[in-house]
Structure 1
Amino acid sequence: MTSATSLFSPVEADLQVLTENLKNLIGARHPVLYAAAEHLFGAKGKRVRPAIVFLVSRATMLDQEITLRHRRLAEITEMIHTASLVHDDVVDESELRRGVPTVHSSFGNRIAVLAGDFLFAQSSWYLANLDNLEVVKLLSQVIMDLAEGEIQQGLNRFATSLSINEYLEKSYYKTASLLANSAKAAATLSETSTALADDLFHYGRHIGLAFQIIDDILDFTGSTEALGKPAGSDLKSGNLTAPVLYALEEKPYLEALIEREFAQPGDLEQALTLIRDSQGIERSRALATHHTRAAIEHLADLPPSESRQVLVKLADYVLSRLY
């Protein structure tokens, strides 16, 4: 299986500079916030979001070098993503993220909320300084979408009436919006045609949805070590994802277990068994495959280049995480 590190080798140097710059952008004026940020940016994440920004930037600039504004956009994208993770972990009371203690479990809720706020504020300030109104609008929309997604998830805990379309809408807000809008923003900075910028938006949208669906499948099929968090943790917290929603169509008793919020001993284990014995995981895999194929179709008008090739391979990489 291709690793994210080898897949992103064409932009590896860009990503290394990004990691150093992120720590410098936070600055050392607030020692605790700096420690929290260093803890986050030092974690071994895949850096998928800034990598896509760099790949789109290079694929749309072709023979020209990418600009400092492209680089800053990649940094802003990772700051927004990281800020959302910090707040998500507080809301979800998660102890681990990528196998590393979360900010709130290391520094306390108060510092975690402030660190997330600080990163959102910093990203907004650097965004404004790009002096490109279209890009400001695109990334500001992402911050609104992240909040909308978190609210939808909170309001729909243990809601067995949730539809697949509602699940995909929430997944767009929480995951795909950042990939879609940052890909379009990179194309906008490269001054591509509106049609190509829109295609790259849809590429990011479909890749983001596939990525979220795969994550949701792995919550049932992955190990705690591989996930960096306990398996089945989404279900336990009442976050009903594609495998659960499909399984509900086959296993009526699953609805009763969810609606009583796994209150009785063995409820959660029984629910996990019902989901694994259903077609839920298989149907979710087919849904993810549909979105990866749709993503590739939106690259049709992007000129041939090494970076374009990696954007295509990224779709296969997203699916390969299941195997």
Structure 2
Amino acid sequence: MTDQHQPHQPPPHLLEPYHYISSTPGKNIRSSLIDCFQLWLNVPRLHNPTSSSSSSNPDHKSNNDQNNDSNRHEIDILSEIKSITALLHNASLLIDDIEDNSKLRRGNPVAHSIFGVPNVINCANYVYFLALGRVQALGKEEAMQVFVNEMLNLHRGQGHDIHWRDSTTCPTESQYISMVIDKTGGLFRLAVGLMQAFATTSTDVDFTPLVNNLGLYFQIRDDLINLADEEYMKSKSFCEDLTEGKFSFPIIHCIRHGGGDGSVANQLLSILKQRTEDVDVKRYAQRLMFEAGSLHYTREKCTRLKEEIVQQIVDLGGNDPLLKMIEMLDVQVEKIAELHGCERGGEGGGYETRGVGTPKRGDDPSLNLDYT
């Protein structure tokens, strides 16, 4: 019988889907955000909890010498929070790709197309609990509360997203924003919340409004890029949100504000129902959104969110690395606006669309900032 008090050692073959998706990482935006918030929170480098978390690390390599290390229980808190956030993020992507029936992730075939759906589901859930074990090993009740609350929020948001898609129910903009705050903002708040459990400065500051706006900006920016940036589409399928039948920010706007007679809304809803992979059909849907001003509206929403975020950062005393990150992320959005000519038209109130569906991007790889 297994000794339940022995450290849990994950069998490597059960974690192959996790290692597969981790082998082609994104841009580590969440890790960079943690570094930015460290300027405010000053989390101490080392912590000595009651137990070690090394056995819960999917990337942990056993080393007999470690058993004799008198400092083996010390944890680099910031590195551990980064690792926990990465575990949860990559595990959630494994599940998302199954739920969305995606084909590509970061330019590679999705994990379940290689390892199969049952293995990937079990692996992702396994990693969720490995992450939970590592939070528990930090030895802070507040950290556990943050983990549970934000994982509940994340799954509530994902549940709404799936329900709208599968029932072809177009949410309001307000409902969509609430969903994004739950789903995308969840891991952001989790990371910052774990840091606050160990913070030595700014302990009484409420960062939630800023973190929520960061989640909104990142998601709505991604919605725009998904439907308008063909360079980004090389790592995924063309206008992937249309194939997935997803109600993203510009799609919601087009359905609700695309025209008085409802014909645009009906056409776009019909396209979403089909889960089409036909590029010509998706280009037509893309054109509908341009002509309805939905991509321009989405770009303007990104601009307003960016301005709010910048002001919030200033009000909190400033944070140059975070400001630089936001400016860098906004470069790609600005480039899309230039390439597609998302400008308000004449007296008719429509929007001019130059070269819709056929933009030519520059060669600067720094503009391709996939935060997944």
Task: Give the aligned CA root-mean-square deviation in angstroms.
Answer: 2.6
> Matched residues in 1 for 2:177 and 2:117: separation?
29
- 8 Å contact from structure 2 (residues 223, 250) kept in 1: yes
> Matched residues in 1 for 2:46 and 2:39: separation?
6
Does the C-alpha gap of structure 1 residues 263 and 97 become closer, same or farther in structure 2, counting only changes over 3 Å?
closer
1:241 counterpart = 2:255: no
Among 282, 297, 300, the alignment partner of 2:314 is 300
> Matched residues in 2 for 1:220 and 1:60: separation?
37
1:218 counterpart = 2:225: yes
> Matched residues in 2 for 1:189 and 1:163: separation?
38
Q: Which runs of 5+ in 1 are unaligned?
A: 1-24
User: Structure 1, residues 61-83: CA drift from partner, whole Å, max 9, x if none?
Assistant: 29x75761222111111111111
Q: Which runs of 5+ in 2 are unaligned?
A: 1-6, 48-75, 336-372
1:42 counterpart = 2:3: no
User: Structure 1, residues 161-208: CA drift from partner, whole Å, max 9, x if none?
Assistant: 411111111111221121133223313311334442x12x32222111
Residue aligning to 2:327? 316
Residue aligning to 1:144? 152
Secondary structure in 2 matching 1:192: coil
1:231 counterpart = 2:212: no
Secondary structure in 2 matching 1:298: helix
Q: How does 1:34-183 map to 2 (within 5 A)?
A: 34-61=15-42, 65=45, 68-157=76-165, 159=168, 161-183=170-192
User: Structure 1, residues 31-84: CA drift from partner, whole Å, max 9, x if none?
Assistant: 32333222122213111112212321244229x757612221111111111111
Structure 1 residue 290 displacement after superposition: 1.9
Residue aligning to 1:188? 197
> Matched residues in 2 for 1:227 and 1:140: separation?
36
- 8 Å contact from structure 1 (residues 80, 143) kept in 2: no
Rg comparison, structure with higher value: 2
> Matched residues in 2 for 1:71 and 1:280: separation?
40
> Matched residues in 2 for 1:274 and 1:195: separation?
47
Does the C-alpha gap of structure 1 residues 159 and 302 become closer, same or farther in structure 2, counting only changes over 3 Å?
same
Structure 1 residue 267 displacement after superposition: 5.0
Structure 1 residue 279 displacement after superposition: 1.1
TM-score by length of 2: 0.71
User: Structure 1, residues 212-263: CA drift from partner, whole Å, max 9, x if none?
Assistant: 0011001111226545111222122221111112222023323212443248
Residue aligning to 1:31? 12
- 8 Å contact from structure 2 (residues 210, 309) kept in 1: yes
> Matched residues in 1 for 2:133 and 2:304: separation?
37
Secondary structure in 2 matching 1:53: helix
- 8 Å contact from structure 2 (residues 94, 120) kept in 1: yes
- 8 Å contact from structure 2 (residues 41, 202) kept in 1: no
More off after superposition, 295-304 vs 275-284? 295-304
Structure 1 residue 268 displacement after superposition: 4.1
> Matched residues in 2 for 1:244 and 1:161: separation?
9
Question: 2:248 is aligned with what amino acid?
Answer: T
Does the C-alpha gap of structure 1 residues 118 and 107 become closer, same or farther in structure 2, counting only changes over 3 Å?
same
Residue aligning to 1:257? 267
> Matched residues in 2 for 1:173 and 1:108: separation?
28
> Matched residues in 2 for 1:52 and 1:66: separation?
20
> Matched residues in 2 for 1:129 and 1:65: separation?
16
- 8 Å contact from structure 2 (residues 254, 294) kept in 1: yes
- 8 Å contact from structure 1 (residues 293, 315) kept in 2: no
1:271 counterpart = 2:285: yes
- 8 Å contact from structure 2 (residues 105, 236) kept in 1: yes
> Matched residues in 2 for 1:128 and 1:263: separation?
41
Residue aligning to 1:20? none
TM-score by length of 1: 0.81
Q: Percent identity?
A: 20
Secondary structure in 2 matching 1:121: helix
Secondary structure in 2 matching 1:321: helix
- 8 Å contact from structure 1 (residues 61, 190) kept in 2: yes
Structure 1 residue 107 displacement after superposition: 0.8
Higher relative contact order (CA 8 A, sep 6+): 1
Structure 1 residue 283 displacement after superposition: 1.0
